[in-house]
């Protein structure tokens, strides 16, 4: 029961974020200069056709009415109709969301697999040569642009060594996974260093606490102290950083999907912006906002599983 109350409280807290995102995207689209319908249709329509499209989209109504109508329909899963592709936005999203979610999952898994062992080892050997090398590599990871890292990986593993596919999504699940390795590594080479630094700093702080000193006095082996006592207490700040950066990667997926020609939400958003497909832009804004809120909710639940004291706060 306590978990259910915790989930409900987090969902309620997320509602203002969703409202703010939908309102911002709605207002930002309205502030774009020029006639949106003529921009979408490349100025190949008459005044009568423009008026008909305005009426069809409901854009001839007051702005407040338009926004409330959009929110009401979005709450039922109706995200409107794409003007350029003449399909429901929800259908377009359902076709494209799988590659984006798989990209985020594979990238996160790679990042965790890289960060956990390196972060633990660096924290257990502070200020050694290994620790210094890790810190330098992390700084380099922060400085490298995503698209540049992606292009280097494509050149090395796809073109020179011909080990992995460099573009597309494949036709079945094994091919999907193969096509996600290089984009996932691109994410991991940015997100991994962030997690390594956070985990290292948190574990070094935990290793100086009285709890760890007691564990050492009891004669517990180092692997148990690091893996059970120190790691568990250091995970909460690491999970926080992970959630924040994955949320950022939801929008950063636009770049990665473009580099690797993945048919995800990022490439769909680029198409929508290029053709000024306003209903599609609005719908994608809602979907990306919901995805971000969902990721943060999963992170909140992870805090509760790691440390039950979070449920009492």
Query: In 3-state terms, what secondary structure has residue 243?
Result: helix
Structure tokens at 4: 């259910």
Round to whole Å and give the CA distance between 297 and 98.
19
Q: What is the pLDDT of residues 202-236, one digit of tens each?
A: 888 888 877 777 777 777 777 777 777 778 778 87
Express each pLDDT in 26-40 by its tens digit. Answer: 787 777 666 666 766
Contact 242, 108 (CB under 8 A): yes
Q: How far is CA 164 from the centre of its chain?
A: 24
Write down the pTM of the prediction: 0.81
CATH number belonging to domain 93-312 = 1.10.3720.10
- Residue 150: CB atoms within 10 A of its CB come to 22
Nearest partner of 195 among 132, 107, 274, judged by Cα: 107
Q: Residue 81 forms beta bridges with which residues?
A: 88
Structure tokens at 119: 């972060």
Mean pLDDT of the residues in the chain: 82
Q: Which residues contact 6 (CB under 8 A, 6 or more apart)?
A: 300, 301, 304, 310, 311
In this prediction, residue 23 carries a pLDDT of 84
Summarised one tens digit per residue, pLDDT across range 39-84 is 666 667 777 877 787 777 777 788 788 888 888 888 888 888 887 7
Question: Per-domain residue ranges for the chain?
Answer: 15-75, 93-312
Cα–Cα distance for residue pair 63/55, rounded to 1 Å: 13
Alpha-carbon span 202 to 168, nearest angstrom: 39
């Amino acid at each position: 029961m306590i978990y259910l109350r915790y989930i409900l409280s987090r969902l309620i807290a997320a509602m203002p974020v969703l409202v703010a995102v939908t309102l911002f995207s709605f207002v930002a689209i309205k502030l774009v200069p020029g006639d949106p319908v003529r921009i979408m249709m490349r100025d190949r329509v008459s005044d009568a056709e423009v008026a008909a499209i305005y009426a069809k989209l409901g854009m001839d109504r007051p702005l407040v009415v338009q926004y409330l109508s959009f929110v009401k329909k979005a709450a039922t899963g109706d995200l409107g109709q794409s003007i350029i592709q003449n399909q429901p936005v929800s259908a377009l999203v359902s076709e494209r969301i799988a590659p984006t979610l798989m990209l985020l999952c594979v990238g996160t898994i790679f990042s965790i697999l890289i960060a956990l062992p390196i972060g633990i080892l660096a924290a257990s050997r502070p200020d050694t040569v290994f620790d210094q090398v890790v810190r330098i590599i992390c700084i380099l990871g922060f400085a490298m642009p995503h698209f540049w890292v992606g292009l280097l990986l494509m050149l090395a593993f796809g073109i020179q060594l011909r080990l992995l596919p460099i573009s597309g999504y494949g036709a079945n699940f094994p091919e999907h996974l193969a096509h996600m390795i290089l984009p996932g590594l691109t994410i991991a080479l940015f997100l991994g260093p962030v997690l390594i630094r956070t985990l290292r700093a948190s574990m070094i702080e935990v290793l100086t606490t009285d709890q760890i000193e007691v564990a050492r006095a009891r004669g517990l082996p180092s692997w148990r102290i690091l893996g059970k006592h120190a790691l568990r207490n250091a995970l909460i700040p690491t999970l926080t950083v992970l959630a924040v950066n994955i949320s950022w990667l939801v929008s950063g997926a636009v770049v990665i999907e473009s580099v690797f020609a993945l048919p995800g939400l990022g490439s769909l958003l680029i198409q929508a912006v290029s053709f000024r497909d306003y209903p599609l832009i609005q719908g994608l804004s809602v979907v990306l906002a919901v995805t971000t809120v969902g990721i943060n909710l999963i992170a909140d639940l992870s805090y509760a599983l790691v440390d039950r004291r979070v449920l009492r706060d």
